[in-house]
Amino acid sequence: MLRALLLELAKSSRLRRRITSHGVTRRMARRFVPGEELGAAIEAVRACNRAGMTASLDHLGENVVTREDAERARTAYTEALERVASDGVDSNVSLKLTHLGLDLGDEFCVEQLRIILRRAQELGNFVRVDMEGSAYTDRTLQMVKRARAETAAVGTVIQAYLYRSEEDIRELLAIGCRIRLVKGAYNEPSQIAFPRKKDVDANFIKLMKILLSSRIYHALATHDPKMIEAATRFSAEQNISRDKFEFQMLYGIRVDLQSQLVKQGYRVRVYIPFGRDWFPYFMRRLAERPANVLFFAKNLFRGAAPAA
């Protein structure tokens, strides 16, 4: 219930204005977003690299409504790729197609994606296309398939909570596409997604086994020790070595688990978001864990108290 409410509130532009203009919430968002500028994100990448991990930079933004905003997002991504190369840090990028103008038309959006992919390929880097709400699943997969026909520098994300995901995985594997497996972060109806967590978890494990058995380099993006344990056990049983896949986690979440996996010799990539448009991302992180909401509410109250 709370999860669904928070995910609905994530769409409110009024709440967005209130939360993002509040000093206390801006400071709290730092737990999940290291900064609004690329420089701050690059510093976070450096810290991850020093700790033996790679990164994926996400320039925050989604559902843009003008071509100018989509083009600005595209430029932010080519700049991020160039900065990664010139600073010699180890990071790829993750992006959302609605940030590149998917709501403005497929052809316009695919052209923005192509420009980013061309630059990534020239620089020997890689672009992950995030998966958004189910209204975009078909179009995202179609665009990724089109892009994958032109370059191997692109991969995408599959959400274990959707019933359709096994079929989508089979189609993507047939074209050699690299996949990041996640549980899924949006509010989806039971007609298309498993409503119960235990069924999502079971599907994650089932899909993880398909991915690891494919011998293509995939990513398992989760902070759930049960999912991680299932993957490490399965890979050991199948003699899949630790450099043939990677775990991914979000910046600021289960840092202890990240370093534990590195110590055990697993590959770990940290997803590092940056930019001003952090509100929907922040709300999704609150929705994932009720304790975050309590922590947020307490700090908001404490931070607001002196001014009252």
Ligand X SMILES: Cc1cc2nc3c(=O)[nH]c(=O)nc-3n(C[C@H](O)[C@H](O)[C@H](O)COP(=O)(O)OP(=O)(O)OC[C@H]3O[C@@H](n4cnc5c(N)ncnc54)[C@H](O)[C@@H]3O)c2cc1C
Contact positions toward ligand X, by CB under 6 A?
130-131, 157, 159, 182-186, 221-224, 248-250, 253-254, 271, 285, 288-289, 292
* Minimum CB distance to ligand X, residue 5 (Å): 16
How far apart (Å, rounded) are the C-alpha atoms in residues 249 and 56?
10
Smaller CB distance to ligand X: residue 173 or 227? 227
- Specify the residue for token string 């420089």: 39
* Active-site residue, 170 included: no
**In angstroms, what is the minimal distance from the CB of 248 to ligand X?**
4
Q: Least distance to ligand X from the beta carbon of 241, Å? A: 22
Q: Is 222 in contact with 268 (CB distance < 8 Å)?
A: no
Cα separations in angstroms, 305 against 20, 71, 89: 18, 41, 42
Structure token pair of residue 283: 């709300």
Least separation in angstroms between CB 184 and ligand X:
5
Residue closer to ligand X, measured from CB, 233 or 289: 289
Of the pair 214, 248, the CB lying nearest ligand X is at 248
In the complex with ligand X, which residue's Cβ is closer, 64 or 250?
Answer: 250
The Cα–Cα gap between 201 and 160 comes to 8
When the beta carbons of 117 and 219 are compared against ligand X, the nearer one is: 219
Which residue in the list 128, 178, 180, 285 is annotated as catalytic? 180
The active-site residue, picked from 58, 130, 201, 277, is: 130
Whether 121 contacts 151, CB under 8 Å: yes
Q: 88: Cβ–Cβ under 8 A, 6 or more apart, which residues?
A: none
Taking the complex as a whole, the smallest distance from the CB of residue 188 to ligand X amounts, in Å, to 9
Alpha carbon 297 to its chain centroid, in Å, reads: 25
Which C-beta is closer to ligand X: that of 122 or that of 229?
229
SS3 19: helix
Cβ–Cβ contacts within 10 Å for residue 226, how many?
Answer: 11
Backbone angles phi, psi at 35, to 5 degrees: 180, 170
Residue number, 16 or 284, with CB nearest to ligand X: 284
DSSP 25-51: HHHHHTTT--BSSHHHHHHHHHHHHHT
Task: Give me the numbers of helices (H) and strands (E) for the chain, helices first please.
Answer: 13, 8
How far is 30 from 71, CA to CA, in rounded Å? 26
Torsion over CA: 184, 187, 190, 191 (sign): negative
Taking the complex as a whole, the smallest distance from the CB of residue 239 to ligand X amounts, in Å, to 25
Is residue 69 annotated as a catalytic residue, yes or no?
no
What are the C-alpha distances in Å from 107 to residues 20, 142, 275?
Answer: 32, 12, 26
CB of 236 to ligand X, least distance (A): 21
Q: Are strands 54-59 and 154-159 parallel, antiparallel or unpaired?
A: unpaired
Q: What are the residue numbers of the active site?
A: 130, 180
